[in-house]
Amino acid sequence: MLTGLELPQVGHQRSAASQELLQRKNNYVANGISVSAPIIIDEAKGAVMRDIDGNTYIDLYGGIGVINAGHCPETVVKSIQQQAEKLLHSCFMVTMYQPYIDLAEKLARITPGDHAKKAMFVNSGAEAVENAIKIAKAYTNRPAVIAFDGGFHGRTLLTMTLTSKVKPYKFGCGPFAPEVYKAPAAYCYRCPYKASYPDCGLHCLEHFERFFVAEVAAEDVAAMIIEPIQGEGGFIVPPKEFLQGLKKICEEHGIVFIADEVQSGFTRTGKMFAIEHFDVVPDLMTMAKGIAAGMPLSAVVGKAEIMDAATPGRIGGTFGGNPVSCAAALATIDLMEQENFCGKAEHAGTKLKKALIELQKKYPIIGDVRGLGSMTAIELIKDPQTKEPNKKAAADLIHYCFENGILIMGAGIFGNVIRFLPPVVISDEQLDKAIEVLENGFATLCK
Ligand code: PLP
């Protein structure tokens, strides 16, 4: 059994058993289900994963932002076991169970704002986004939605329409959902107006005056959806005034402001939700990933008045708010609160960021180091003057790290960002080891 404190140990022999499984994967799993690392995981604990060949890896991708609380936290596993022995499913829309109600109340309490709040549960981030938009449309009786350039909201028809990156997410999947309008995001490292913050005066906010004349009438817009920090887009942290300005625009025009916290929520950024860094209280929030330490669950939480606008039966789903997932979420949030996971995320993130800034001084291919808490990223470029994206360097670094027992992953519209989403319980020793491998990786790449 893993203790969670192990360091990476990678041999380069792959067993016949793992080779056979890879072959069976190729034979039976659809090609569109892409895989970044050709290993089969057997067990994971804390920030360590072990494959069936006995190799151990330090996890710096956290199941793509799911494993904030570490792999298999004891109290969560126990809670799952206890709930599984009592009730696996009843369908909350027919007969109720307590964990659903407890979790709705808990989320109403821990989300920003002291107004009355309500929640509903589904299974994936995309489903939460779909439902948040349905609720906003029901509340406003308006057809349109505003999303942001570089955003990612999922793979269903509506959520892929809201999403920016064409390949691989949208290519060949049109026609897309109607009445979705894209606005520029505050991506200061690559400002679409070629301006620099704070001297720019935030053109990206001013843009809305024209937008509501040229693109869509404000009174036709039901919702504006934004990730407080873009996830797949490359961990882009906007200036505080940008999100505050957007919220103000929404208030002026009766538009529902939805913060998509699917990737940034649950202590990832050093606060329970990323939007808290910006002193903005959203009308609705979507959340998933880190909510239940790996059990599938997502939620829409927000103002009771808005949440209640969808009439009975218009939202929901057979598996939404499964009792085992709700029990896992309650235990996960308890653990986060009791063991100061916000502090842990801040500690690990600060340590990693400091090391990355040192690396940036040595290796100019690191164009930008950014993020909040343990949501940290580096953007790789070919040349500091042109900032031409360096996708190959990102791919090479991911490969180098994998070969040396560190699991990281890419992001960004141009595929040139490396994002770090470690379980926040990662030890200093494990993080030091990961940093050492990253440093060696850059030394090898830049030879
Ligand atoms: N919203 C954001 C911000 C995300 O990062 C993601 C997934 O990465 C989604 C929505 C979609 O979540 P899921 O893959 O669970 O459907």
Q: Are strands 417-420 and 406-407 parallel, antiparallel or unpaired?
A: unpaired
What pLDDT shows up at residue 13?
81
Assess whether the C-beta atom of 99 lies below 6 angstroms from ligand 1. Answer: no
Assess whether the C-beta atom of 124 lies below 6 angstroms from ligand 1. Answer: yes
Which amino acid makes up residue 418?
I
**Beta carbons of 301 and 106 less than 8 angstroms apart:** no
Q: Are strands 406-407 and 56-59 parallel, antiparallel or unpaired?
A: parallel
Assess whether the C-beta atom of 283 lies below 6 angstroms from ligand 1. Answer: no
Pocket test for ligand 1, best of 33, 66, 122, 153 (most atoms within 8 A of CB): 153
- φ/ψ bin of 340: left (φ > 0), alpha (ψ from -120 to 50), beta (otherwise): left
Each residue's pLDDT tens digit in the chain (447 positions)? 999 999 999 997 889 999 999 999 999 999 999 999 999 999 999 999 999 999 999 999 999 999 999 999 999 999 999 999 999 999 999 999 999 999 999 999 999 999 999 999 999 999 999 999 999 999 999 999 999 999 999 999 999 999 999 999 999 999 999 999 999 999 999 999 999 999 999 999 999 999 999 999 999 999 999 999 999 999 999 999 999 999 999 999 999 999 999 999 999 999 999 999 999 999 999 999 999 999 999 999 999 999 999 999 999 999 999 999 999 999 999 999 999 999 999 999 999 999 999 999 999 999 999 999 999 999 999 999 999 999 999 999 999 999 999 999 999 999 999 999 999 999 999 999 999 999 999 999 998
Q: Which residues contact 142 (CB under 8 A, 6 or more apart)?
A: 219, 220, 221, 222
Output the CA torsion 188→190→191→197 (10° steps): 30
What pLDDT shows up at residue 211?
96
Tell me, in angstroms, the distance from the centre of ligand 1 to residue 288's CA: 8
**Beta carbons of 374 and 268 less than 8 angstroms apart:** yes
E strands, 75-183, in order: 117-122, 144-148, 180-183
E strands, 111-236, in order: 117-122, 144-148, 180-183, 221-226
Output the CA torsion 89→91→95→97 (10° steps): 50
E strands, 52-179, in order: 56-59, 117-122, 144-148
* Short-list 39, 45, 48, CA closest to 21: 39
Assess whether the C-beta atom of 262 lies below 6 angstroms from ligand 1. Answer: yes
What is the CA 53 to chain-centroid distance, rounded? 30
Structural domains in the chain, CATH included, are 16-59+341-445 (3.90.1150.10), 74-338 (3.40.640.10)
Assess whether the C-beta atom of 423 lies below 6 angstroms from ligand 1. Answer: no
- Specify which residues 224 forms β-bridges with: 146, 257
Helices (H), 236-308: 240-253, 304-307
